[in-house]
Amino acid sequence: MPHDACTVRTPDQVTWPTDAIAPLLDRAAALGLTLIKVHSHPGGYSRFSALDDAADAKLFPLVHGWVEADVPHGSAIMLPCGRMFGRIYDSDDTVRPIELISVAGDDLHFWFADEAGDSVPAFVASHAQAFDVGTIRRLQRLTAGAVGASGTGSPTVEQLARLGAGEIVSVDDDRMEARNVNRVINSTMEDVRQARFKVDVLADAVERMGLGTKVRRFTRSLWDLEVVRAIAECDVLFGCMDTVDGRFLLNTIATYYNIPYFDIGVRLDAVPDGPRKGKIREVCGTINYIQPGRSSLMSRGLFTMQEIAAAGLRRKDPAAHARQVKDGYIKGVQGHRPAVISVNMLGSSLAANEFLARLHPFREEPNGDFAAVTFSLSSMEIITDPESDPCPILKKCVGRGDVEPLVGLMDFARRSAA
């Protein structure tokens, strides 16, 4: 609201003309959008005042009358510390609190409508000593999505559970093979004989811990409509896969639904044949922290849209992909990359600590300086890169939420009935 449009603007009162929001109401009515009114309490009053109650009681019947779509509208308050809280006004005049307001920036903020008690379970008491009780309580109420349940996925799920995450959404459509047992934590050769899904191996292990973390299992690809919707409901995402199109999709979901995303990439380069076969050329990895509206995996140069298209063709039509590789139209991809559990766990651990550093900042420098963290065991270095310019491909998609087709991709377009 422009300053000069307010007839009263003091630390404890703001009066403004409702006709000033008519253009916003017209747009909300045309598109079926929700309108949220936000104002501040400069004095730090952490509840809605009687004046707020009276003003909202007059405003929101007007808003619902203007916007005919059956959508909720809301009122929110920001305090000087940056914390926000709010409430929802439904079309049936029901008023309820906004359960959670989150900020996915350089630092991560999660503000719940109700504050839990001071006690935490005994198994996270030592974590609370390091990161304070409030941080641990927030972690216990968060849902983390972990896409990929193998090399970096299994240690990531293990850490999230033992750190006390409230819920984990685990996604992977692969079954256990003998070559996986050397790096999938808690897996056995019996799992291989039974051809168990990796997700089930990890979820069963978490349940055996008895620490209270719930696991939602999806033994399907990320490119499944129900899986995308489940991932979109998460509070934080961890990408533990090496497929280009999968990483692109997870980056896109994070953008549309304003979710912080930690992408874990590990690479071991060895000479494949010849007299120097097996010679290690590089052992490295990168943890990319992606925040909605800023740079993406694409704008950081990890892969191109052409590579994404080729990976999509390989997923949907392997025969056509093979023909295009043979004809030289697209590059082939390495089938099974070398993997070592100790390197995978290092990458996963760095990602978990990146998450903690943003949930409870503890570094000497601001978190914006660590958008990407690269480690090289060959040169024994850790290299960091700051945040860069917004991604030109995704910058217009920030916070759009549910659209048709889902996340703007034709893969999820509704199919007409035959």
Q: Domains in the chain, please, with CATH? A: 3-98 (no CATH), 122-412 (3.40.50.720)
Nearest alpha-carbon partner for 303 in 247, 359, 222, 346: 247
Q: What is the mean pLDDT of the chain?
A: 91
pLDDT digits (tens, 9 = 90+) for 130-170: 777 888 889 999 999 999 999 999 999 999 999 999 999 99
CB atoms near residue 378 (< 10 Å): 13
Span of 88-102, 109-123, 366-380 with lowest mean pLDDT? 109-123
Q: Which single residue is written with the structure tokens 């994070």?
A: 254
Q: What is the mean pLDDT of residues 404-411?
A: 93
pLDDT value at position 313? Answer: 79
Q: How confident is the model at residue 30 (pLDDT cuts 50, 70, 90)?
A: very high
pLDDT value at position 128? Answer: 67
Q: What is the mean pLDDT of residues 56-69?
A: 94
Contact 7, 15 (CB under 8 A): yes
pLDDT value at position 418? Answer: 37
Contact 297, 248 (CB under 8 A): yes
pLDDT value at position 416? Answer: 37
pLDDT digits (tens, 9 = 90+) for 178-196: 999 999 999 999 999 999 9
pLDDT value at position 292? Answer: 96
pLDDT digits (tens, 9 = 90+) for 131-141: 778 888 899 99
Identify the three-state secondary structure at position 269. strand
Span of 28-32, 313-317, 400-404 with lowest mean pLDDT? 313-317
- On the question of pLDDT at 19 being above 90, the answer is no
Q: How confident is the model at residue 329 (pLDDT cuts 50, 70, 90)?
A: low
pTM (global) more than 0.85 = yes
Contact 69, 29 (CB under 8 A): yes
Q: Which single residue is written with the structure tokens 């990319």?
A: 288
The conformation of residue 151, written as its DSSP 8-state character, comes to: T
Residue 206: exposure state from Cβ atoms within 10 A (0-12, 13-18, ≥19): buried
pLDDT digits (tens, 9 = 90+) for 37-51: 999 999 999 999 999
Q: What is the DSSP string of 64-102?
A: HHH--SS--EEEEEE-TTS-EEEEEE-TTS-EEE-SEEE
Span of 6-10, 68-72, 355-359 with lowest mean pLDDT? 6-10
Report the share of the chain in percent with pLDDT over 70: 93
Buried b (16+ CB within 10 A) or exposed e, 179-200: ebeebbbebeeebbeeebbbbb
pLDDT value at position 401? Answer: 93
